[in-house]
A and B are shown apart, each in its own frame.
Chain A
Amino acid sequence: MTEAVTPQTGLSRNGGPGAGSVWRVAGPVVVATGLKEARLYNVVYVGEARLPGEVIRIDGKRTVIQVYEDTSGIRVGEPVQDTGAPLQVELGPGLLGAIFDGTQRPLPAMAASNGDPYGAPTISRGVAIPALDRERLWDFVPAVSEGDEVVPGDLLGTVEETEALVHKVLVPHGVSGIVTGVTRGPARVEEPVVRVNGEPVAMMRRWPVREPRPTARRLDPEVPLVTGQRVVDTLFPVALGGTATIPGGFGTGKTVLEQSLARYSHADVVVYVGCGERGNELTEVLEEFPELVDPNTGAPLMQRTILIANTSNMPVAAREASIYTGITLAEYFRDQGYDVALMADSTSRWGEALREVSGRLEEMPAEEGYPAYLSTRLAEFYERAGSVVTLGKEGREGSVTVVGAVSPPGGDFSEPITQHTLRLAGTFWALDTSLARGRHFPAINWGTSYTLYELDAWFEREVREDWSEQRAWMQDLLQREGSLLEIVQLLGADALASPQRVVLAAGRLLREDFLQQSAFDEVDAYCALPKQYAMLRVIRAVHKALSAAVERGAPVEAASSVPAAGEVGRMRYWPDDEFEERAAALISRVEREMEELG
């Protein structure tokens, strides 16, 4: 695959082999005739309105096209034009902080009209605005000089794209040789900044979205993506370069969790794909992210974020494309040696878009009307995640971590998208309707969730050596509490012996004061790893003191309601810098007060 380094101008003229006409229109699917040279996945323009679409089937003389815009009013016989190229995204400086639709059209530029930034609030058809600003000047600092020999992936130069991130301009794929010219200083994205063997190379390039970008080799996932969410980091961490899935019925907090991850994850770049979801939720992201500060760099959060917004009322075929657009942008920053997190909310809407188009094609359906190739498509997407060594002499390491939300109908995890995703994802965060009903958030069910990544060594090295031992204690206690709660449901708490009620008391602390975390509280929304460790240590100490007190004959109620125990619930609001000290003080207070009970 050769990376297109100069703008695409390969549009066929009217009447050539690239011109055909509309023969059938049914929803987002258009059938054209006369496109003799159209290749599968080529982009075509449909009708007088020039609506962009993609060739999804070739059947004799008929070419089947999924159209990215509303097809109302299209008539049989209107022209169809083949661009000769597949769906591509533009890559270069100016991506960070941008807000695109599913096919990388910039939404802010589309909303502006006559000097009013919101003058055109609705999306009209056939608008074509390039993704990257063609006029903006970027200060290109070369890293090569004339005479250097370069191969694809080598660093050509840098652009300080935001305060927090240096954009690396690399040698495009398909280009190698001797540097014959270098231009320093301000340049537009399409202007050549370097010449290789006399050929101009600009900062902007294109890449087909359905094709994974090449790398040198894959690495084993050994480092966690730190998210600041206690239940995630402590119990079910995901690796950098790993995949995680969040299935949950409506109201279980998928979107809130995805947004928390987008805010607080220790990633260099976050690509957030809002795929077929609510417009008002995306607006919330659009309004909040520029105000929020990245806890790691201190720069505005928006400066490391790319938003791809294709709300549920925007055309369905563009929804299908949005996932690929998102992951291609993620791979582009991975290739520069960054850790990228991609949040897709929700992959079910993407699957439904596949189903809708498949239905219009009258394909033989598999389970629940989804096409038989659903699992293949899901695999193609999730397997683009990974921790890699990039092309080029530098041997940079970068990663793409994918977190995909799933919206199973009726909250039933046996449906096809959840099941196929489970086969692919390394981490499973099962959102539970009954936890959500009880306002336990994040509503991740600790009994059914799992992670397949073995990251204990990292936590023991970077946080504390008994990290995994402490976590094992917690999981065991939660397990025992769960079995006891079933008995309580039937017989009441009185039926239990004192030691068992101690387990209940400690389990409740774990659930309410550790696993629950408020996404809306300023301090609690992000919990650093040392704080997570220390909170758990406090609860473990309470459990120990409680067991000891009850063994000495103290009543469970009295012991678990000593004043210091009430403080446990306040721990989450303690700021990081004084946490260690206050945690140690609390532990000794708990021990003292329980001693005093006798």
Chain B
Amino acid sequence: MTERKAKDGPDFERLFAVEHRTVSYVSGPLLVAERAGDAGYDEMVDVVTPAGETRRGQVLEVEGDKMVVQVLGGTRGLNRPGTTVRTTGEVAKTAVGPDLIGRILDGSGHPVDGGPPLQPAAYQSVNGQPLNPYARAHPSDFIETGISAIDGLNTLVRGQKLPIFGGFGLPAMELAAQIAESARVPGSGNEEVTDDFVVVFAAIGVTHREAAFFRRRFAGSAALERSILFLNLADDPTVERLLTPRAALTAAEYLAWEEGRHVLVILADVTNYCEALREVSAAREEIPGRRGYPGYMYTDLASLFERAGRVRGRSGSVTQLMILSMPDDDITHPIPDLTGYITEGQIVLSRELDRRGISPPIDVLPSLSRLMNAGVGAGKTREDHRAVADQLYAAFARGKELRSLVSIVGEQALSEEDRRNLAFAEDFEEQFVGQGPNRRTMEETLETAWRLLDRFSSGELKRIKPELIERYRSRATVSATQEEG
């Protein structure tokens, strides 16, 4: 820990370093030090335990000559007389640069993979600065995740922030890992397929089992060579979780804005982050908002999620996929609710599909990508993409409706068209959504869609213009026949 300190920031910080042996209060993650007037709000401090160990801390409040510090390493073993607090005059910073790529780091950004020390290009404030809305460029190029239910119906666009709403026991982490492995950024226009694509994976408060899973998945594939993995484990100090996504985003922003790379940031699991936020808020005896979460949770989450985007005049992008476990599968719980208000859509996982063995179990009806329209169509994906997605959606929605009707009135009461719809819903879930571990290109996703729609007459495909039906329907049928032949 002490070795780390030496290279963790610019040299001049030690000029400002002042030691205080004036701790008056220690409880939960918090510590109060008196006669410490030189501390700035939100700055980092070093807390030296009576045993001589150094832990990082962050100033939550200054009042008169008192400062309130949240100790990132936990407050275990601290006492009043023996504990020293050393101010640094710096807000939290993290190492950034291309050297981080391929590394596994802890929740504050220090290597835990046994590799050589980092050679960072710079140290940057983890808080970032808000993007000027005027300098943003509207996201308009898609990312191919290789998952049909996302690419086909809820296309992810560079610069977008899209959460995956899961629940405990649902394979959200597996889906995240699958996307991290198989996501591609196709070249837009005449550019070649770009290899400037980096995945930054921030695991927040994950269990050892999940961490082992990620390490295994990443180590076993080529994905690690283009990834940065931040690991904050469930038994790591709670307050470090508040730092982990910020460190990850700061690393991502450097690669995107300074080096022009396309960065996909995966935050898993936002629920753990919010729990940590609530824990710190409660320790500070703040007035709670809904369900005990602090009133500023929306602002706090926004300060993370809004760091996705594109900037005019720069070629890179920061895209965010967040994994979020809905407590008790309740989409109106404050965590998914506030997230949904900030993000540009959501991918919702379904327990029912999971039980039926459909993988990935994406429930397409409540799922939505708000930026899809900007990222699909002629010149981007394919001219029929939007219409095919609408048609799949309409037919599936109708099929689902009929499914609940059939359970009451029986299938014989249905018309011919309705029966086709009912069968379509079944096949759609099994073949289009349930693709298993395979990666599908955008072209393959659309061909699968056309094959499923083939059962409907052209007149029934109301959402697709006749000329598009003519152009693409036959292609799908022909290629299907060829496969069979």
User: Which A residues are closer than 8 A to B by beta carbons?
Assistant: 23-27, 31, 70-77, 99, 107-108, 110-111, 116-124, 249-251, 274, 276, 278-284, 286-287, 309, 311-316, 349, 352-353, 355-356, 359, 362, 365, 368-369, 407, 409-412, 437-439, 490-492, 494, 520
Contact = CB atoms under 8 A, between A and B. Distances in A.
Given A250-B337, A251-B340, A24 B61 contact: yes
A279 B61 CA distance: 29
A204 to B, nearest CB: 22
Contacts of B394: 439
23 contacts: A73-B42, A77-B37, A107-B134, A118-B135, A121-B132, A122-B129, A122-B130, A250-B337, A250-B341, A279-B131, A279-B136, A280-B138, A286-B133, A311-B306, A312-B298, A313-B299, A314-B130, A352-B299, A355-B289, A356-B296, A359-B296, A368-B289, A369-B290
A437 B366 contact: yes
Contact of B63 (A23, A70, A279, A438): A23
Interface in B401-416: 405, 408-409, 413
Given A311-B130, A311-B306, A410-B331, 18 more contacts: A31-B63, A70-B127, A73-B40, A121-B135, A121-B311, A251-B340, A280-B159, A280-B308, A281-B344, A283-B136, A287-B138, A312-B298, A352-B299, A407-B341, A409-B290, A410-B337, A439-B393, A492-B405
B387 interface: no
A31 B390 CA distance: 55
B91 A72 contact: yes
Contacts of B299: 276, 312-313, 316, 352-353, 356
Interface of B: 37-43, 60-65, 91, 125, 127-139, 159-160, 257, 286-290, 294-296, 298-299, 302-303, 305-309, 311-314, 331-334, 337-338, 340-342, 344-346, 365-366, 368, 371, 373-374, 390, 393-394, 397, 405, 408-409, 413
Given A71-B41, A75-B38, A411-B332, A282 B133 contact: yes
Contacts of A349: 298
Contacts of B341: 250, 407
A99 B288 CA distance: 35
Given A25-B41, A279-B136, A438-B397, A73 B302 contact: no
A559 to B, nearest CB: 16
Contacts of B64: 23-24, 76
A577 to B, nearest CB: 24
A457 to B, nearest CB: 40
Contacts of A279: 131, 133, 136, 306, 309
Given A121-B135, A283-B138, A362-B287, A75 B296 contact: no
Contact of A410 (B38, B332, B373): B332
A330 to B, nearest CB: 20
A280 B91 contact: no
Contacts, number: 213
A306 B40 CA distance: 37
A261 B37 CA distance: 52
Of listed B42, B298, B337, B341, residue having the most chain A CB within 10 A: B341
B293 to A, nearest CB: 10
Nearest to A73: B40
A352 B129 contact: no
Contact of B42 (A72, A278, A412): A72
B59 to A, nearest CB: 9
Shortest beta-carbon contacts, A-B, top 3: A410-B332, A312-B302, A313-B306
Contacts of A99: 133-134
A30 B40 CA distance: 12
Contacts of A490: 408
B314 A121 contact: yes
A110 B132 CA distance: 8
A279 B135 CA distance: 10
Interface of B is mostly: mixed
Given A77-B37, A280-B344, A286 B134 contact: yes
A283 B133 contact: yes
Given A312-B302, A491-B409, A494-B409, A73 B130 contact: no
Given A118-B311, A283-B138, A369-B288, A72 B128 contact: no
B132 A369 contact: no
A407 B298 CA distance: 12
A123 B311 CA distance: 13
Contacts of B132: 107, 110-111, 120-123
Contacts of B337: 249-250, 409-410
A521 to B, nearest CB: 12
Nearest to A315: B130
A311 B133 contact: yes
Nearest to B253: A122
A76 B64 CA distance: 6
A530 B91 CA distance: 61
A492 B288 contact: no
A313 B332 contact: no
A352 B332 contact: no
A442 to B, nearest CB: 15
A4 B306 CA distance: 38
A140 B277 CA distance: 56
Nearest to A119: B313
A492 B37 contact: no
Contact of B287 (A31, A359, A412): A359
Contacts of A123: 129-132
B41 A492 contact: no
Nearest to B298: A352
Of listed B91, B129, B373, residue having the most chain A CB within 10 A: B129
A316 B408 contact: no
A76 B306 contact: no
Contacts of B287: 359, 362, 365, 369
Contact of B312 (A26, A121, A282, A309): A121
Contacts of B333: 410
A119 to B, nearest CB: 8
B365 A71 contact: no
A310 to B, nearest CB: 9
Contacts of B303: 312-313
Contact of A75 (B62, B160, B331): B62
B32 to A, nearest CB: 13
A71 B298 contact: no
Contacts of B139: 280
Of listed A107, A118, A281, A355, residue having the most chain B CB within 10 A: A118
Contact of B40 (A27, A31, A72, A407): A72
Contacts of A356: 295-296, 299
Nearest to B459: A566
A471 B418 CA distance: 33
Contact of B408 (A27, A71, A119, A492): A492
Contact of A280 (B127, B309, B314): B309
B41 A313 contact: no
Nearest to A310: B133
Contacts of A276: 298-299, 302
Given A122-B131, A359-B296, A72 B43 contact: yes
A283 B137 contact: yes
A520 B373 contact: yes
A380 to B, nearest CB: 21
Nearest to B308: A280
B306 A312 contact: yes
A79 to B, nearest CB: 14
A412 B313 contact: no
